[in-house]
Chains A and B, each alone.
Chain A
Amino acid sequence: MREADSVDVTEDITRFYQPELARVIAKQRLSEMMVMLRLQRASGEMLEHQPGQFLQISLPGYGEAPISFCSSPTRTESFELCVAAVGNLSEAMHELRPGDFVGIRGPYGKGFPLEDLRGRDVLCIAGGIGLAPLRSLINYVADRRAEFGRMILVYGARKPSERLFKDDLANWDAREDFETLYTVDEADEGWTGRTGVATVPLRDEVEIDPTRTTASVVGPPVMYRYVAAELLAKGMAEDDILFSLERRFKCGMGKCGHCQLNDLYVCQDGPVFRYTQLIGRSEAIEVWAPEDERQ
């Protein structure tokens, strides 16, 4: 038998599927369902990401899942991810302690188009845990304030106890150069702020110059159409409305097929899309009605 010429494939496979190790630096509970993990690459190198991009995070034995960055790339020594306890993997991640290791791959995807946002008024509309990816953008604007116009944040949470990043919310609220409108859908006794969903203050209290504003929207699927309706009513162009879509990415590199949205791969072409990109694509069901829902 001929001696087998070994073909070295290690490097390539490492690049595509194999995670590198990152260490948990800190863990902070944000709400009953959410914890924030601050991570650092085991190599010590910086991980360069853009607001709106995502990372594949894994725990050996539990699998891998995509999670958006919630920290700004302007604060680069470490990075932060928000994990909702919704399955075996995320529940195991809730049990992590500082010093523990996780696997990471990425960053992947197209985030918020910072170059296009520069010089424009930044209107962020967050619903529920959608604030996590937007925090990355908002803190980016905060750290490079002079590069942007107005910064307006509309944030709706279900209940006061489910509001994320309470310190950030207070900091943004205290800033003279930020306009913040916070609301909860179900107030409790201690809540003195607005009640109702995010579209109410967006409609009634936010005045914008639609020609110089770009809206970045992240929230539950239910929210998108209502936000779109309000933004269009304010005269905004569809091209200036950005939506971040959630899909179940398996590979993150446009191969596994799970995130295919008509002809687009959300993991490559998104997850942040211009509204114009989604118009007429029936599988963007956050913003479009499926043609007919009967079996």
Chain B
Amino acid sequence: MAAELLMTPYAMDRFMGRLIAEGPVMGPRDRRVQPGFVKFEWLSSADELVLEYTTTTIPPKKAFFPPRQPLFEFELSEPPTITAVQEATPFTLVGVHPCDLAGLSMLDDAYAREPAEACWPAARARARVIGVDCLPDEYCFCFAMNTCNSREGADLFLTPIARGYLVEVLTEAGEEMLRLSDVEDAEDEDRSQAQAFRRDKGNRLSASIDASPEEFAEILETQELGELWREIAGRCYSCGSCNTTCPTCFCFDINDEFDLGLTGGQRVRTWDSCQLQEFALVAGGHNFRRIRWQRVRHRWHRKFLYLYRTFGRPYCTGCGRCSRACTADINIVDVSNEVIARARGRV
């Protein structure tokens, strides 16, 4: 059992201030142009941090897998020179919800699968992570995805209580961080309030998937549901928002960009989306997921069947971001449950 301590709001403020003074800290803060909407951003002061928030549009994976990431720089000399772009500064990621902790851990597994990718673990090795518990909205279904109490990869984990935060110390790095803070021993009352918080969270989670991950994977594997996918695709705009906001999507594109002088440039990795038509295009105009419904189906198959079979859990955290972001109001829970209902209706 991890050590549990108490941090008062005042102590938290001082702790964050010291962390920010020590090195870069990314955490949830109000969007400057859209107050009330929270995004993960580099913090310049402790009062910017918004620790109690519902969700962000873009998940915190961007701290380790930026939407646009230079891989190396090149100069068109003879021979050409290639210089790795390496970011080496340690940083702290604060305010990560349990579902997002699980999402980061899923990407750990995905990128570590042999042959292992390099940028992701390098960025992860630079960061300390502080999680925080949350209260769900109607889009959240983290209980169904078994991520609602995840502590994966967190060094410290905070649960809001009356006296401030109950702090779970999960790693040595977490303990080391606490040397910057003024923590007190937690009392039984603090612990029971944290438990009550988690119970309340569970009670508020209304959305759920109507089948176990295994049953859902079997349904996707064995049932031909072309008509349903066509119905969903009839509403989909193929905008790719579901991919962009997903904490477990990890596909990317790689392209070269010239500097203005045209004598050198960068090879750049960017987020990519399997919902865009060009994604599965091959030289010669061949496209093996040309039709929209094939791409919609691919998204479900990848998250709930292929990656589930490979890594032993669905590649969905239940965060509900894709449903919130969908311009066509395609809700991942509703679609999944419709898949399950139709499959069961046939038997």
Which A residues contact B (CB, under 8 angstroms)? 1-2, 4-10, 12-19, 21, 23, 42, 58, 60-65, 84, 86-87, 101, 103, 220-221, 246-248, 250-251, 253-258, 260-263, 282-285, 290-295
Contacts of B79 in A (CB 8 A): 21, 23, 42, 101
- Contact flags (1/0) for B60-88 with A, using CB distance below 8 Å? 00000000000110111011101010111
Given known pairs A4-B89, A7-B126, the reply for A295 and B291 (CB within 8 Å) is: yes
| Docked-complex contact B289 and A283, CB < 8 angstroms | yes
- Given A17-B118, A248-B281, A254-B113, list of 14 further CB < 8 A pairs? A2-B22, A9-B118, A12-B119, A16-B115, A18-B72, A60-B76, A60-B80, A65-B283, A101-B79, A254-B115, A258-B272, A260-B306, A285-B288, A295-B293
**B323 → chain A closest CB, angstroms:** 22
Given known pairs A8-B88, A255-B111, the reply for A250 and B80 (CB within 8 Å) is: no
Beta-carbon nearest neighbor of A261 in chain B: B288
For the side of the interface on B, what is the size category? 35 or more
**B230 → chain A closest CB, angstroms:** 7
Contacts of B110 in A (CB 8 A): 255
14 contacts between A and B (CB under 8 A): A9-B125, A12-B122, A13-B84, A17-B118, A42-B79, A64-B254, A101-B80, A247-B282, A250-B254, A255-B251, A260-B302, A261-B288, A263-B305, A295-B230
Given known pairs A4-B23, A5-B90, A255-B250, the reply for A294 and B230 (CB within 8 Å) is: yes
- For B90, B121, B265, B267, which residue has the most chain A Cβ atoms within 10 angstroms? B267
| Docked-complex contact B291 and A290, CB < 8 angstroms | yes
Q: How far, in angstroms, from A35 to B215 measured CA to CA in the complex?
A: 52
**A127 → chain B closest CB, angstroms:** 13
Contacts of B255 in A (CB 8 A): 63
- Decide yes or no whether B197 CB sits under 8 A from chain A: no
Q: How far, in angstroms, from A21 to B305 measured CA to CA in the complex?
A: 40
| Docked-complex contact A63 and B125, CB < 8 angstroms | no
Beta-carbon nearest neighbor of A23 in chain B: B79
Beta-carbon nearest neighbor of B234 in chain A: A295
**A152 → chain B closest CB, angstroms:** 27
Q: How far, in angstroms, from A61 to B80 measured CA to CA in the complex?
A: 11
Q: Which of B91-124 contact A (CB under 8 A)?
A: 110-111, 113, 115, 117-119, 121-122
**A247 → chain B closest CB, angstroms:** 6
- Contact flags (1/0) for B272-290 with A, using CB distance below 8 Å? 1010000111111010110
| Docked-complex contact A9 and B254, CB < 8 angstroms | no
Contacts of A103 in B (CB 8 A): 80, 82
| Docked-complex contact B71 and A18, CB < 8 angstroms | yes
Beta-carbon nearest neighbor of B69 in chain A: A17
Q: How far, in angstroms, from A16 to B111 measured CA to CA in the complex?
A: 11
Beta-carbon nearest neighbor of A256 in chain B: B252
Partner of A13, one of B111, B122, B254, B258: B122
| Docked-complex contact A9 and B269, CB < 8 angstroms | no
Contacts of B253 in A (CB 8 A): 250, 256, 258
Contacts of A295 in B (CB 8 A): 230, 233, 291-293
Given known pairs A12-B121, A16-B118, the reply for A258 and B78 (CB within 8 Å) is: no
Contacts of B162 in A (CB 8 A): none
- Decide yes or no whether B294 CB sits under 8 A from chain A: yes
Partner of A9, one of B76, B115, B122, B306: B122
Q: How far, in angstroms, from A2 to B110 measured CA to CA in the complex?
A: 33
Beta-carbon nearest neighbor of B259 in chain A: A61
Partner of A291, one of B87, B119, B226: B226
| Docked-complex contact B86 and A13, CB < 8 angstroms | yes
- For B117, B224, B279, B284, which residue has the most chain A Cβ atoms within 10 angstroms? B117
Beta-carbon nearest neighbor of B82 in chain A: A18
Partner of A4, one of B90, B122, B256, B280: B90
Partner of A60, one of B84, B265, B291: B265
Q: How far, in angstroms, from A15 to B71 measured CA to CA in the complex?
A: 12
- Decide yes or no whether B309 CB sits under 8 A from chain A: yes
- Decide yes or no whether B201 CB sits under 8 A from chain A: no
Partner of B88, one of A6, A293, A294: A6
Q: How far, in angstroms, from A290 to B280 measured CA to CA in the complex?
A: 15
| Docked-complex contact B74 and A253, CB < 8 angstroms | no
Contacts of A256 in B (CB 8 A): 251-254, 272
**3 residue pairs, one from A and one from B, having the closest CB atoms:** A257-B251, A12-B118, A9-B122
Contacts of A12 in B (CB 8 A): 118-119, 121-122
Contacts of A258 in B (CB 8 A): 251, 253, 272, 279-280
Contacts of A14 in B (CB 8 A): 84
- For B90, B250, B282, which residue has the most chain A Cβ atoms within 10 angstroms? B282
| Docked-complex contact A7 and B252, CB < 8 angstroms | no
Beta-carbon nearest neighbor of B279 in chain A: A258
Contacts of A9 in B (CB 8 A): 84, 86-88, 118-119, 122, 125
- Decide yes or no whether B301 CB sits under 8 A from chain A: yes
| Docked-complex contact A251 and B254, CB < 8 angstroms | yes
- Decide yes or no whether B21 CB sits under 8 A from chain A: yes
| Docked-complex contact A246 and B118, CB < 8 angstroms | no
Q: How far, in angstroms, from A2 to B72 measured CA to CA in the complex?
A: 28
Q: How far, in angstroms, from A18 to B119 measured CA to CA in the complex?
A: 12
Given known pairs A7-B122, A263-B309, the reply for A101 and B78 (CB within 8 Å) is: yes
**B198 → chain A closest CB, angstroms:** 34
| Docked-complex contact B291 and A18, CB < 8 angstroms | no
Contacts of A15 in B (CB 8 A): 118
**A68 → chain B closest CB, angstroms:** 12
| Docked-complex contact B291 and A221, CB < 8 angstroms | no
Q: How far, in angstroms, from A21 to B15 measured CA to CA in the complex?
A: 48
Q: How far, in angstroms, from A253 to B252 measured CA to CA in the complex?
A: 12
Given known pairs A248-B281, A283-B289, the reply for A10 and B86 (CB within 8 Å) is: yes
Contacts of B21 in A (CB 8 A): 1
Partner of B250, one of A60, A64, A257, A291: A257
| Docked-complex contact B256 and A61, CB < 8 angstroms | yes
